[in-house]
Structure formats: structure tokens, C-alpha cells
Amino acid sequence: MSSSIKSMLAVCAIAFVAGCAQQAQEEFVVVEPEPISSEPVYTGKYK
């Protein structure tokens, strides 16, 4: 084979491997927001 065919085959192989490589995924962290005010606590009928 000629050198141009070998080099073209090498470029195609590298592109194929790079395209199929598994990329690292970012982790998403979801944080629950704190309530703005707390709910009133039941302390009895007339306290």
C-alpha cells in the first residue's frame, strides 16, 4: 500500500477511536432551598 493510503487509514482509525471514547459526565448536585420562614408550632389553645 502506498504511504498516503496508510496515513489516511491511520487518521480514520484515530477519528473513530476518538469518536467512540466515553466522555466524562458532570455530576449534578441538587440542593433543597431552606424555607424562608418556619411554620408556627401548635402550643395549646390559649398560650
pTM: 0.43
Q: Say which residue, 35 or 19, is predicted with more confidence.
A: 19
Measure the CA–CA gap between 12 and 6, rounded to whole angstroms: 10
Average pLDDT (37-47) is 74
CB count, 10 Å around CB of 15?
A: 10
**Span 22-46, mean pLDDT?**
76
Under the banding of pLDDT at 50, 70 and 90, the label for residue 47 is: low
Confidence at 18, pLDDT banded by 50, 70, 90: confident
Look up residue 15 and give its three cell numbers. Answer: 477519528
